[in-house]
């Protein structure tokens, strides 16, 4: 009798054996409910063996194998194994990260198969129409061929109800149908660069990685849509990953409009759990043509997968920062290779890792250099030197004048400052006291509206003190500038203007972000003040000026990725200006106008910027020229965390290919009352590093657990 080897959501990197009376190989990839200690757990059957790994007498019997979820295909199980090995994460926990929450529950969750509806006989249906209202006529014609619910609903607001009535009357039948030839609506005719890119992608047979490098508005999304249309036409599925903040209703709407007959599954944090599980199942059954989602969607089963797209592939939100610390972009590349399908990575400012892959010929670069809409020009950028310039509340005179011009013309301006709150510091000039978080190594931000001091790291809040806690001084001043202060200052300077601030504070209520965006679109706003929330994915046709304040903060950071991020952010926010027929202008206030980063931005020359950065990284020994992993530890006291890391370093296997650095405090040492240390290991040889990590983690896991919490982060983005 065979034994099931089951992956369970427990922090041990192994499988667990169970007995089942009627187990068959078909159970591999299925959900199973098993006893575990005193609990009932849901696992996934990964293997079937004749001989269990341990004493037969100790092996318990599985309760049941569930058949509510389609069997996970072998390829996907391979992907999970790859993640477990690569990220050194227990296989059961990898699986449970990937599965929708509903399937982590021992209860059965059934998803009805997608039904298609068609008229039994169009002539009879037409004859039966009492009044041939336009809608009914249209519906009757539509139903000559099988249609899914989405297509029917798209026909009119009462269409779905009408079809239900016909269904009850037997005039329409419902049937399970998995393969409808999807049709794509026609998009704009492609320009030469786009056509070249689409041709290259659709010509790929088997695995190929493409890096679509195109400025904002150059028509990257059009390239994806065309490549996806070709994929669907071949009867295959497409998986599209986007950063959370970019998955706007507009983008989803654009997909639905282009592919009216296609089941598009949307997977992200705002989709309710049941719906997410249902979408997952439809993708697993091959019914869904397109899966459009955030990083988690990379694990969606798709038996007919034909294409993967990762939009804004440089975006840091593709990396998960807890649990399974995976990079959805990297996992997507692995998945494409394993499935033998092309993958398209797109960005205006590719990650330097991806850029280097293109330089080395591993990825094929496809360039889009023009704005796609005829006559639309990229914005012109001006660097405004703030060195030895009298500023009015942090604003350059030319910035204020430019905003004034927009107001006079009835156009919109965006003032970009990536720092929310009123001011970053509350300071006493008498004794030097500064408001600091008691739980973190960080200052508290002044929120004047709420009369509070807030920690932006742990969320702690405190009343704004009237007098200095250090010396009793009654005249304390907020130092520096945040979006609230900017908003006040602009409202004062332009009393007739309608100023709207959009940041995480102003959009806390559900739906308020959407409401704010609508107000901008309806031109009910003259001046927008915003953080990076506004930098991405939003298209404001009447916005012709972007003013950037405080960008210099990102120039001289200790983090070697800071300039790459700054460039990406500035390019992105600059791209908001002048999308339609009105030319846009970008003003960037800086103390360092000669800085190479700004000069590259000025020339809109990402290649130049990337070459410079990569040369520096090569010289200094940073990724992508070597591979890193960091062991993080946290405890009540830093000393404990560091002691743990020293011990861990002593347990590290000897390897001439791997450098083990000394334990150090994390750059943000204290966070929410926990103190944190880290230990960096690196190597120029990926496979040697992997072997080292496997051995090292086994040694660390064999230790008795202590008070220190630790975790390994492979390919860390933050150090």
Give contact residues for Zn ion (rule: CB under 5 A): 428, 430-431, 433, 437, 439-440, 455, 457-458, 460, 468, 470-471, 473
Select the binding partner of residue 470 from Zn ion, ligand ADP, none (C-beta < 5 to 8 A, by kind): Zn ion
Select the binding partner of residue 440 from Zn ion, ligand ADP, none (C-beta < 5 to 8 A, by kind): Zn ion
Nearest distance from C-beta of residue 319 to Zn ion, angstroms = 23
- Distance CA(689)–CA(712), nearest Å, equals 13
Can you read off the two tokens belonging to residue 385?
A: 């030197």
Q: Which is nearer to ligand ADP, 302 or 601 (CB)?
A: 601
Can you read off the two tokens belonging to residue 489?
A: 């200052």
Nearest distance from C-beta of residue 538 to ligand ADP, angstroms = 11
In whole angstroms, what separates CA 229 from the centre of its chain? 23
Q: Which of residues 354-393 bind ligand ADP (CB under 6 A)?
A: 372-373
Looking at the chain, how many residues does it have? 719
Out of 90, 100, 182, 217, the only residue in the binding site for ligand ADP (CB under 6 A) is 217
DSSP code, position 553: G
Number of Cβ atoms within 10 Å of the Cβ of 636: 12
Q: Order of strands across the sheet with 208-214?
A: 264-267, 290-293, 237-241, 305-311, 342-347, 208-214, 364-368
What are the E-state strand segments in 215-349? 237-241, 264-267, 290-293, 305-311, 342-347
Q: Which is nearer to ligand ADP, 312 or 487 (CB)?
A: 312
Provide the pairing of β-strand 499-502 with 305-311: unpaired
Work out the burial of residue 354: count CB atoms within 10 Å of its CB; fewer than 13 is exposed, 13-18 middle, 19 or more buried: buried
Can you read off the two tokens belonging to residue 622?
A: 């940073």
Select the binding partner of residue 372 from Zn ion, ligand ADP, none (C-beta < 5 to 8 A, by kind): ligand ADP
Out of 221, 349, 399, 413, the only residue in the binding site for ligand ADP (CB under 6 A) is 221
Segment contacting ligand ADP (CB under 6 A): 34-42, 220-228, 327-335, 694-702?
A: 220-228
Q: Which is nearer to Zn ion, 405 or 430 (CB)?
A: 430
- To which H or E segment does residue 380 belong? strand 380-385
Q: Is 376 helix (H, G, I), strand (E, B) or coil?
A: coil
Q: Which of residues 193-212 bind ligand ADP (CB under 6 A)?
A: 194
Q: Does 349 bind ligand ADP (CB under 6 A)?
A: no
Select the binding partner of residue 690 from Zn ion, ligand ADP, none (C-beta < 5 to 8 A, by kind): none
Select the binding partner of residue 443 from Zn ion, ligand ADP, none (C-beta < 5 to 8 A, by kind): none
Q: Which is nearer to ligand ADP, 312 or 526 (CB)?
A: 312
Number of Cβ atoms within 10 Å of the Cβ of 691: 16
Q: How many residues bind ligand ADP (CB under 6 A)?
A: 15
Nearest distance from C-beta of residue 439 to Zn ion, angstroms = 4
- Distance CA(92)–CA(344), nearest Å, equals 30
Q: Does 253 bind ligand ADP (CB under 6 A)?
A: no
Out of 11, 188, 274, 472, the only residue in the binding site for ligand ADP (CB under 6 A) is 188
Select the binding partner of residue 439 from ligand ADP, Zn ion, none (C-beta < 5 to 8 A, by kind): Zn ion
- Among the listed residues 209, 572, 499, the one whose alpha carbon sits nearest the alpha carbon of residue 360: 209
Select the binding partner of residue 405 from Zn ion, ligand ADP, none (C-beta < 5 to 8 A, by kind): none
Provide the pairing of β-strand 172-176 with 115-119: antiparallel
Q: Which is nearer to ligand ADP, 219 or 482 (CB)?
A: 219
Segment contacting ligand ADP (CB under 6 A): 30-38, 184-192, 553-561, 710-718?
A: 184-192
Buried b (16+ CB within 10 A) or exposed e, 293-306: bbbbbbbbbbebbb
Can you read off the two tokens belonging to residue 165?
A: 């009535």
Nearest distance from C-beta of residue 221 to ligand ADP, angstroms = 3
Nearest distance from C-beta of residue 638 to Zn ion, angstroms = 16
Nearest distance from C-beta of residue 194 to ligand ADP, angstroms = 6
First to last CA, the chain: 50
The position carrying tokens 């019997």 is 61
Can you read off the two tokens belonging to residue 364?
A: 């094929």
Can you read off the two tokens belonging to residue 270?
A: 């705002």
Select the binding partner of residue 217 from Zn ion, ligand ADP, none (C-beta < 5 to 8 A, by kind): ligand ADP
Select the binding partner of residue 194 from ligand ADP, Zn ion, none (C-beta < 5 to 8 A, by kind): ligand ADP
Nearest distance from C-beta of residue 185 to ligand ADP, angstroms = 12
Segment contacting ligand ADP (CB under 6 A): 25-33, 182-190, 293-301, 414-422?
A: 182-190
Select the binding partner of residue 316 from Zn ion, ligand ADP, none (C-beta < 5 to 8 A, by kind): none
Nearest distance from C-beta of residue 674 to Zn ion, angstroms = 11
Q: Which is nearer to ligand ADP, 122 or 373 (CB)?
A: 373
CA triplet 236, 240, 242: central angle to 5 degrees?
A: 180
Q: Does 191 bind ligand ADP (CB under 6 A)?
A: yes
Give the dihedral sign, CA 626/693/241/339.
positive
């Amino acid at each position: 009798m065979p034994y099931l080897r089951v992956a369970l959501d427990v922090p041990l990197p192994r499988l667990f054996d169970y007995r089942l009376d009627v187990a068959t190989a078909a159970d591999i990839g299925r959900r199973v409910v098993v006893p575990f200690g005193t609990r009932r757990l849901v696992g996934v059957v990964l293997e079937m063996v004749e001989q269990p790994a341990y004493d037969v007498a100790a092996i318990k019997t599985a309760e049941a194998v569930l058949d509510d979820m389609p069997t996970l295909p072998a390829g996907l199980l391979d992907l999970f194994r790859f993640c477990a090995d690569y990220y050194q994460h227990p296989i059961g926990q990898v699986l449970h990260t990937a599965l929708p929450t509903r399937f982590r529950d021992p209860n059965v969750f059934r998803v009805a198969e997608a039904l298609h509806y068609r008229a039994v006989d169009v002539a009879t249906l037409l004859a039966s129409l009492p009044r041939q209202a336009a809608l009914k006529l249209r519906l009757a014609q539509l139903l000559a061929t099988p249609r899914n619910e989405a297509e029917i609903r798209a026909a009119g607001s009462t269409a779905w109800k009408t079809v239900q009535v016909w269904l009850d009357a037997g005039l329409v039948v419902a049937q399970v149908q998995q393969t409808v030839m999807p049709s794509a609506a026609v998009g704009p005719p492609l320009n030469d660069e786009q056509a070249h890119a689409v041709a290259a992608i659709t010509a790929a047979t088997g695995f190929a990685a493409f890096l679509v490098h195109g400025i904002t508005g150059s028509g990257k999304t059009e390239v994806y849509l065309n490549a996806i249309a070709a994929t669907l036409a071949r009867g295959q599925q497409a998986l599209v990953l986007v950063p959370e903040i970019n998955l706007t209703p507009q983008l989803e709407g654009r997909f639905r409009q282009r592919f009216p007959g296609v089941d598009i599954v949307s997977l992200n944090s705002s989709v309710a759990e049941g719906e997410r599980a249902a979408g997952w199942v439809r993708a697993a059954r091959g019914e869904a043509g397109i899966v459009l989602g955030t990083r988690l969607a990379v694990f969606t089963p798709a038996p007919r997968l034909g294409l993967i797209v990762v939009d804004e592939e440089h975006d840091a939100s593709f990396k998960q920062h807890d649990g399974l610390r995976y990079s959805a972009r990297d996992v997507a590349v692995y998945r494409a290779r394993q499935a033998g399908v092309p993958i398209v990575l797109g960005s205006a400012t590719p990650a330097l890792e991806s850029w280097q892959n293109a330089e080395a010929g591993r990825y094929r670069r496809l360039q889009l250099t023009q704005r796609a809409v005829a006559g639309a020009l990229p914005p012109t950028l001006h660097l405004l030197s703030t060195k030895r310039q009298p500023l009015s509340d942090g604003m350059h005179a030319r910035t204020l004048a430019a905003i004034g011009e927009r107001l006079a013309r009835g156009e919109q301006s965006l003032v970009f400052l990536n720092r929310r709150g009123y001011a970053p510091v509350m300071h006493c000039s008498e004794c030097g006291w500064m408001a600091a978080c008691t739980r973190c190594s960080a200052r508290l931000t002044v929120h004047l509206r709420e009369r509070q001091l807030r920690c932006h790291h742990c969320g702690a809040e405190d009343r704004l003190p009237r007098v200095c806690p250090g010396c009793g001084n009654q005249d304390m001043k907020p130092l520096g500038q945040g979006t609230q202060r900017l908003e006040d200052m602009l409202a004062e300077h332009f009393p007739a203007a309608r100023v709207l601030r959009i940041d995480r504070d102003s959009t806390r209520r559900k739906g308020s972000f959407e409401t704010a965006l609508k107000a901008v679109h309806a031109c009910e706003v003259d001046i927008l003040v915003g953080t990076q929330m506004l930098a991405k994915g939003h298209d404001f046709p009447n916005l012709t000026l972007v003013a950037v304040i405080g960008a210099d903060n990102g120039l001289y950071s200790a983090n070697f990725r800071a300039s790459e991020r700054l460039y990406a952010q500035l390019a992105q926010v600059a791209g908001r200006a002048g999308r339609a027929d009105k030319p846009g202008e970008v003003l960037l206030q800086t103390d360092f106008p000669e800085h190479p980063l700004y000069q590259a931005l000025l020339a809109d020359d990402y290649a130049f910027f990337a070459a410079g950065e990569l040369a520096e990284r090569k010289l200094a020994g940073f990724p992508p020229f070597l591979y890193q992993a960091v062991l993080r530890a946290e405890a009540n006291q830093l000393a404990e965390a560091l002691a743990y890391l020293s011990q861990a370093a002593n347990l590290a296997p000897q390897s001439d290919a791997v450098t083990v650095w000394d334990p150090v405090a994390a750059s943000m040492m204290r966070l929410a009352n926990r103190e944190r240390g880290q230990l960096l290991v690196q190597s120029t040889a990926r496979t040697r590093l992997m072997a080292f990590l496997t051995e090292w983690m086994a040694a660390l896991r064999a230790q008795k657990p202590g008070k220190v919490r630790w975790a390994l982060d492979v390919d860390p983005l933050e150090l």
